Chain A
Amino acid sequence: MQYKSGREAFWDGVRTLMPATPGVIPFGLVTGITAVEQGMSPGTTLGMTLLFYAGSAQMAALQLLRNDAFALVILLTVLVINLRFVMYSASLAPHLHHLPRRWKWPLSYMLSDQAYVLSILKLSSGELKQFGHYFFAGTAVSMWLSWQLSVMAGVFLGAGIPGSWSLDFAIPLVFLALLVPAIRSSASLGAACVGGLVAVLAIDMPYNLGLVMASLCGILTGLGIEHYRGAAADKAKDATAGEETP
């Protein structure tokens, strides 16, 4: 699509994001509800949501706060969950690095999974011409607004929900919904099995350090299986090398 102005590109970015909102709203609602339900004030929840702007990291932090985890463990866990943003940043950099800081910094703060996924193909194809950052801003700003507003709605709903509804169970359920599509290969399946198992076995470790250890064990398992399978695939390739065309 050819844009005649930045405004047009921005609004097309907003329209592109809209189909993603049905997945965002329940997640935001549950985040707001669980925060209030575990005794956080609406002001603190709003501050947390603005400062984090990362749903799964915020949910993980809420679960760890509920277990009275050590602050450093919470910080470490959140940063590990958010490490993927480094990848997005690297992938977006060729399209955004030339902009002035008044663009770069707010756009970086609003970088999310959804805005990245919906923009990167259009940005790399070059079809957006000089309006690429307007399109990205459209997806990023509308994602940011959907998230903040749905968490706030959850905060107001949460105040009226009794504790007997066991709504704390919503946290692992959301993680489960995110976990299942993350298992795409035997290596990621191995990472999940070992991560989960070690976390269960290490439940009595102080300050929830078991979570950090379990995550590292899972990641190493994934890398190990990938390495082993890669070596096996190379061997198979060597065996059939004569039949293959390069």
Chain B
Amino acid sequence: MTDLSLWGLFLAVGLGTFALRLSFIELYGRLRIPVMLHRALAYVPASVLAALVLPAVIFPGGGEFALANPRIPAAAIAALVAWKSRNILFTLVAGMGTLWGLQALG
């Protein structure tokens, strides 16, 4: 992407996100969230985050699937730590540590 289109994208994201944040604060009393959208929003984090995580772990660099990919066990251990600790820092340390350990062995 060229620098110009990159900044165009960032600007569009900035304006769009600002509009989402301002929406009801500005239009109070004139806007209602549709019930369906309200219910659908509850599943956005689980769905989008899983769709971001899984391909990035299974196809690092967008390449082919490989069973010997050390990112798969590293992500499994990180998921366990995330579940037990609910802490971003611990999850990062566990995942990166396992990846580096496996890379050093292999």
State the A residues within 8 Å of B (CB).
22-23, 26-27, 30, 44, 47-48, 50-54, 56-57, 60-61, 63, 65, 67-68, 71, 74-75, 77-90, 92-94, 96-97, 104-105, 107-109, 111, 165-183, 187-189, 191-200, 203, 210-211, 214-215, 217-219, 221-223, 226
Contacts and interface: CB of A to CB of B under 8 A. Distances in A.
A108 B83 CA distance: 32
A166 B24 contact: no
Kindly name the residue among A84, A175, A215 whose own CB sees the greatest number of chain B CB atoms within 10 A: A175
A215 to B, nearest CB: 5
Contacts of B16: 75, 78-79, 82
Given A26-B92, A187-B43, A196-B51, A71 B24 contact: no
Contacts of A188: 42-43, 45-46
Contacts of A90: 23-24, 31, 33
Interface in B50-106: 50-60, 62, 71, 74-75, 78-79, 82-83, 86-89, 91-92, 95-96, 99-100, 103
Interface string B8-46: 111111101110111111101101010000111111111
A199 B28 contact: no
Given A83-B20, A94-B28, A177-B88, A71 B5 contact: yes
Contact of A71 (B1, B21, B25): B1
Kindly name the residue among B50, B57, B75, B86 whose own CB sees the greatest number of chain A CB atoms within 10 A: B50
Given A176-B91, A215-B44, A222-B43, A44 B6 contact: yes
A152 B96 CA distance: 22
A109 B51 contact: no
Nearest to B29: A97
A23 B88 contact: yes
Contacts of B46: 179, 182-183, 188-189, 191-192, 195, 218, 222
Given A50-B14, A71-B9, 11 more contacts: A23-B88, A68-B1, A75-B9, A75-B16, A85-B20, A86-B24, A108-B26, A166-B96, A181-B82, A195-B46, A218-B47
A97 to B, nearest CB: 4
A71 B79 CA distance: 30
A180 B79 CA distance: 7
Contacts of B13: 51-52, 57, 61, 74-75, 78-79
Given A104-B25, A199-B50, A173 B96 contact: yes
6 contacts: A78-B16, A166-B100, A182-B46, A195-B47, A198-B51, A199-B55
A23 B85 CA distance: 12
Nearest to A77: B48
B56 to A, nearest CB: 4
